[in-house]
């Protein structure tokens, strides 16, 4: 609340010019599947999902409540990272669990949806064409995931019930045998295991830091292994997602690592060479938008993250659906 008050003061933004406040909320659960106005019921549902995304939903709630105190008359909207994946087919989202567990909401949700929605929008601008039919998108940062986008719509994601699953991340392990989690819970307690899995695994667990730049500079065997682990599992999950689309026409990279780390991009694309992806080394080193070599049968692009604009656009659309007040 204090930081928000300072930021608004620096902006010198008259309250009368503010139409609404919009927030990124990572986990919307089963019920919150599109950007919507925040009501007490919506806020309660976001809080109910906080245990599924403990690094994200609680800070989002803090932001929502801070705005409510500062600007009580301003309507607020929530945009959900899970919403872009809400229409995934049930075969892609359902775990092989008893029905009683599935109806409680234990299923794959997928995340980074606002980033992927922005990618679909921006690829049309970058390519000057329609979105490729089968697009494999990587969001690579401290949090990392991959998404299969078929005809502009998500059909599968590497993340699951929570943002812990899938690719190796900055401090999260990605995919684990459930028995590993059971063993850690027995040894460290549920809360202790949750803390380790959310904050002490991934690149940090492998090499002591979740800063990819520091890993490249370290020159140690542990750092080299962490980088290889990150790239190997990104490509391996990515190849699996291509099966959900029946092939591959384009690859996109976004996020702090995806946009800025040519070494990581090159390693991932080399793992995917069997799908026809060939990267242009010079374009990749320069950080161009278009990275595919002339011999590549797959388009490869870097796409600057644009989640804030996506949130604003979706909130404006929700306001339009409500009609004049």
Backbone angles phi, psi at 153, to 5 degrees: -125, 140
Q: How far is CA 14 from the centre of its chain?
A: 33
314 found inside a domain: no
Total residues found in the chain within this entry: 325
**pLDDT score for 126:** 82
- In a shared domain, residues 64 and 124: no
Q: What is the pLDDT of residues 179-238, one digit of tens each?
A: 999 999 999 999 999 999 999 999 999 999 999 999 999 999 999 999 999 999 999 999
Which run of H or of E encompasses 44?
helix 40-48
Domain span at 53: 2-80
**pLDDT score for 194:** 94
CA distance 134 to 153: 10
Backbone angles phi, psi at 43, to 5 degrees: -60, -40
- In a shared domain, residues 121 and 254: yes
Whether 110 has a pLDDT exceeding 70, the answer reads: yes
Q: What is the CATH number of the domain that holds 146?
A: 3.30.420.40
- In a shared domain, residues 157 and 228: yes
For the question of residue 165 being annotated catalytic, the response is no
Can you tell me whether residue 98 is helix, strand or coil? Answer: coil
Q: How many domains does the chain have?
A: 2
CA distance 172 to 295: 36
Task: Read off the pLDDT band of 128 (50, 70, 90).
Answer: confident
Tell me, what DSSP letter sits at residue 192? H
Question: Distances in Å between the alpha carbon of 45 and those of 31, 40, 42, 88, 278?
Answer: 8, 9, 5, 21, 45
The catalytic position among 9, 81, 249, 288 is 81
**pLDDT score for 274:** 98
- In a shared domain, residues 189 and 237: yes
- In a shared domain, residues 50 and 134: no
Q: What is the end-to-end Cα distance of the chain in Å, rounded?
A: 28
């Amino acid at each position: 609340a204090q930081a928000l008050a300072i930021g608004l003061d620096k902006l010198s933004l008259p309250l009368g010019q503010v139409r609404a406040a919009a927030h990124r909320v990572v986990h919307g659960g089963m019920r919150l599947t599109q950007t919507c106005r925040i009501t007490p019921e919506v806020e309660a549902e976001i809080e109910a999902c906080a245990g599924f995304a403990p690094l994200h939903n609680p800070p989002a709630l803090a932001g929502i409540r801070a705005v409510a105190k500062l600007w009580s008359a301003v309507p607020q909207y929530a945009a959900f990272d899970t919403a872009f994946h809400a229409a995934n087919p049930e075969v892609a989202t359902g775990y092989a669990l008893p029905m009683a567990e599935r109806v409680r909401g234990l299923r794959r949700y997928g995340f980074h949806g606002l980033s992927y929605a922005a990618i679909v929008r921006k690829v049309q601008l970058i390519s000057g064409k329609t979105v490729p039919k089968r697009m494999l998108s990587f969001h690579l940062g401290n949090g990392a995931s991959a998404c299969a986008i078929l005809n502009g719509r998500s059909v599968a994601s590497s993340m699951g019930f929570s943002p812990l699953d899938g690719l190796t991340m900055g401090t999260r392990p990605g995919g684990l045998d459930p028995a590993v989690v059971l063993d850690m819970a027995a040894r460290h307690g549920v809360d202790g295991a949750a803390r380790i899995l959310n904050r002490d695994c991934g690149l940090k667990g492998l090499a002591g830091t979740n800063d990819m730049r520091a890993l490249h500079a370290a020159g140690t065997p542990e750092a080299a292994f962490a980088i290889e682990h990150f790239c190997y599992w990104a490509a391996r999950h990515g190849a699996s997602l291509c099966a959900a689309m029946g092939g591959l026409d384009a690859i996109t990279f976004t996020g702090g690592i995806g946009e800025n780390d040519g070494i990581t991009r090159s390693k991932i694309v080399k793992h995917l060479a069997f799908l026809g992806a060939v990267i242009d080394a010079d374009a990749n080193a320069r950080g161009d938008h278009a990275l595919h070599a002339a011999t590549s049968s797959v388009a490869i692009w870097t796409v600057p993250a644009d989640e804030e604009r996506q949130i604003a656009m979706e909130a404006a659309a929700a306001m339009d659906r409500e009609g004049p007040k």
